Amino acid sequence: MKAQTVRQPWANMIALKIKRNETRDKRTGHRGPIAIQAGLKWDLDAFPEMETKGSPLETIVRTRLSGGPMYMGKIVALANLVDCVAAADCDRLGFLSGDERHYGDYTPGRFAYVLRDVVMLPDPVPCRGMPGMYDLPSDVEGEVIRQVVEVLAKRNVYSSRISDATNAATGLGLIREYEDAVRWHMEQKINAACAGPQVVFTQMEAERK
C-alpha cells in the first residue's frame, strides 16, 4: 500500500474530509488506496492564515480541529486517490468547490491529488514518513487495513463477521466505497489478514471473469 506524508493541519483535515485535494509539485500515476501519514512538522506557511480571524482556515482550525488530538508521525487515514489534475485546471473541472482553494497551493505547474472515500483511523498507527510516495511496512499496512475493516463494518459496509463466507456478498459495499482500484487490493489483503476460513468473494470472482 502506498503512503504520502502530509504536514499538519492538512493531514487531520484530510482525515476529517474537509480537505479533498492534496497539492504537490509532481504528477503521480498512482490510483487507488493511499495512506495519509501526518508528518512530524507543521506547515509553517499555513500559520498566517490560521492566525487571521475569520479566514476559512482559521475557522476550520478553531471549530473542527481544536480540542482534538493533532497527531504527528502516524497514519491517520486511508484514502482513495482517484485522479491527478493540473492545478491550473482544478477550478474549471470543479475540484475547487467551497473553500478547497484555501487548503492547498494551486499555483501553475503544480498538481492536485484528488482524494475520495476517506476513512479516518480510530487509533492512528505510528509510521516513519519519507519523501514522496512510498510503500508502507507490512506490519503498518496490516494494522491500517484491520482498522479500516472495523470502521466499514460499523457502517454496515462490511460484515462484522468478516471470516463468515455466507456474508461475503456484503463485500460489494466495500466495492462501492472504494471503487475498482481498491477492490482487488482489499480482497487480497483482507483474506490474508483474516484468521480462520477465508472470505470467498464469489460475486467478485464472477465479475472478474
- What CATH homologous superfamily does 2-136 map to? Hypothetical protein. (2.30.130.30)
Q: What's residue 55's pLDDT? A: 72
Q: What's residue 98's pLDDT? A: 77
Domain ranges of the chain: 2-136, 155-208
Burial state string for 115-146 with b = 16 or more CB within 10 A and e = fewer than 16: bebbbbbeebbebebeeebbebeeebbbbbbb
Helix axes 138-154, 171-193, angle to 10 degrees: 150
Q: What's residue 197's pLDDT? A: 36
The single-letter code of the amino acid at 79 is A
Tens of pLDDT, residue by residue, the chain (209 residues): 899 999 888 898 899 888 999 999 999 999 989 999 999 988 777 766 666 766 777 777 666 666 567 889 999 999 999 999 999 999 888 898 878 888 888 999 999 999 988 999 999 999 999 988 999 998 998 889 888 888 877 765 544 444 443 333 334 344 344 444 344 455 555 555 554 333 333 333 444 44
Contact between 199 and 163 under an 8 Å Cβ cutoff? The reply is yes
Q: Which three cell numbers stand for residue 110?
A: 503544480
Burial state string for 167-181 with b = 16 or more CB within 10 A and e = fewer than 16: ebebbbbbbebbeee
Q: What's residue 92's pLDDT? A: 87
Q: What's residue 23's pLDDT? A: 93
Q: Residue 190: how many CB atoms within 10 A of its CB?
A: 21
**pTM (2 decimals)?**
0.71
DSSP state of 35: E
